[in-house]
Chain A
């Protein structure tokens, strides 16, 4: 089985974000593999261990520098990867079309993984769009996955610790959630090995993807400014507690 993992090259969550030209960010910060995608890779490797002969392929639409993220994916165990190099910002509608075209051109997906969302644009939808384009079933925020001959059983995380259980036919699309597994850090030999694994580079124009009639475009980006002016609550434990109660009553009006 061929398992494709769609990975995204995103700014480090701790990075300081500077805005350029009103709607772009200064890209001179550390970029890395989207954290949810790590769970997708870890799960793919588990499936490969169960079904020897499977191939795990990481796919990324991103700038040239995204090769670094693909190397991380391969250090975590992906066999090879595909980079669709593009400096432009693509919305999830275009991204899904492009990823679909790249996967289709490359092989026969038995399973497609994504993270449940990317930590930069936080869109939560690319997995569903890929699924719809392939006409594959989709589950998102998957925290448990059991694979059988021609079906998968998944638990998806709902609110309040409740899970839904879905059965999906194969091939299908899985949006990995954080509870799915615990990604391990690659060892030094893994990193060395990943440097020798192949990265296929495709030009976006070679995929002949038609432009969708719908889109989402970021027209402005502003820093979220902090407007709070902290005020100290002083006293002993009892006095502090009493002051908090008063704030909750008089100001916040929640009790």
Chain B
């Protein structure tokens, strides 16, 4: 039987974020019809790109700018509207990115209709209603069976290689956006769209530093290197707890979970908890003075060397 599958498109400056394409590729399975949920954007502009990846229906969801309590940014309002979209188009499964935005939106949707949801999954089988995600600090992979009328999947960014599948699409205008949120008001929504920083969870390359960086100043070395590589900057908990870098840069079990194409770990020992956050990286390169550090036996390339010497050399070459 044909399934209607919705994908929540995450935007960046009015453009579709790169990480959506892998998610759409994952959602596009046998006997599926793909609906893109496009919120507060000009759908016409996005149409060619969405068609290239197999979207046949673009649902245009626009919030009035002057509506009270800034609903254009209110995740509780978004969740309610998206549930109405799901009902209107008889959607069987919804995919979204397991990003900060997705983590504030998808569980709200699931809770409203008591639908099953798996966050941070990296594999989905819509024929058998199965999803795979990591559990126990990334030490195990769980295969989970979802049972319910509508199934929700929060997809780990970068976990699926995007594959094109050209189709043509139609734009459907969804009108029912005048919904109130009882209880939750947005005072200020940090404009992620305008931030020039490369987002850790979605970066292709991450350069990360740990205790071995020794102080906050040395993180500038990493920052310069990351800039040249167009990479995001990451850190171990020790670097965060020492006050060298903000918590938002922490990778690991109690930080961000990332799967970049390349993860370069500098002065990081590779604790179980750090690994929990970067295990699914494509390639891991470690620079560490201690050849017996755990990371040296769980990476693809390692150099037994002083990161403070290697990084500036690397920056010069980029």
Contacts and interface: CB of A to CB of B under 8 A. Distances in A.
Interface of A: 11, 13-14, 17, 19, 23, 25, 35-36, 91, 93, 96, 119-125, 127-129, 131-132, 135-141, 143, 153, 156-169, 172, 178-179, 212-224, 226, 228-234, 237-238, 240-242, 244-245, 247-248, 251-252, 254-255
B205 A254 contact: yes
A227 to B, nearest CB: 10
A160 B119 contact: no
A244 B285 contact: yes
B192 A158 contact: yes
B305 A237 contact: yes
Interface of B is mostly: mixed
B142 A220 contact: yes
Interface of B: 73, 76, 99-101, 103-104, 107-108, 110-112, 114-120, 130, 133-149, 154, 181-192, 195, 197, 199-202, 204-205, 229, 246-250, 253-255, 261-262, 264, 272-273, 276, 279, 282-285, 287, 296-306, 309-310, 313-314, 316-318
Contact of B247 (A179, A222, A255): A179
Contact of A237 (B118, B183, B200, B313): B313
B279 A241 contact: no
Nearest to B287: A240
Contact of A252 (B118, B140, B261, B314): B261
Nearest to A239: B313
A131 B183 CA distance: 11
A163 B147 CA distance: 34
A167 B184 CA distance: 6
A35 B283 contact: no
A216 B145 contact: yes
A193 B93 CA distance: 50
B136 A17 contact: yes
B205 A164 contact: no
A224 B255 CA distance: 19
Contacts of B73: 164
A162 B310 CA distance: 31
Contacts of B183: 136-137, 168-169, 172
A84 to B, nearest CB: 20
Contacts of B261: 252, 254
Given A162-B195, A213-B148, A238 B205 contact: no
Given A124-B107, A125-B111, A137-B182, A219 B141 contact: no
A248 B262 contact: yes
B302 A230 contact: yes
B136 A128 contact: no
Nearest to A11: B136
Listed residue (A121, A132, A216, A232) with the most chain B CB atoms within 10 angstroms of its CB: A216
A224 B142 contact: no
A116 to B, nearest CB: 8
26 contacts: A14-B273, A122-B119, A125-B111, A128-B107, A129-B107, A129-B111, A132-B114, A137-B182, A137-B183, A138-B111, A159-B201, A160-B248, A161-B248, A166-B184, A167-B187, A214-B114, A214-B148, A217-B144, A218-B135, A218-B145, A221-B143, A233-B302, A244-B285, A248-B229, A254-B229, A255-B318
Given A93-B116, A131-B111, A254 B204 contact: yes
Given A123-B119, A224-B141, A217 B110 contact: no
A125 B190 contact: no
Given A162-B190, A233-B303, A238-B313, A251 B279 contact: no
A135 B84 CA distance: 18
A126 B4 CA distance: 27
B110 A224 contact: no
A100 to B, nearest CB: 12
Contacts of A131: 111
A216 B144 contact: yes
Contacts of A158: 100-101, 104, 190, 192
A240 B148 contact: no
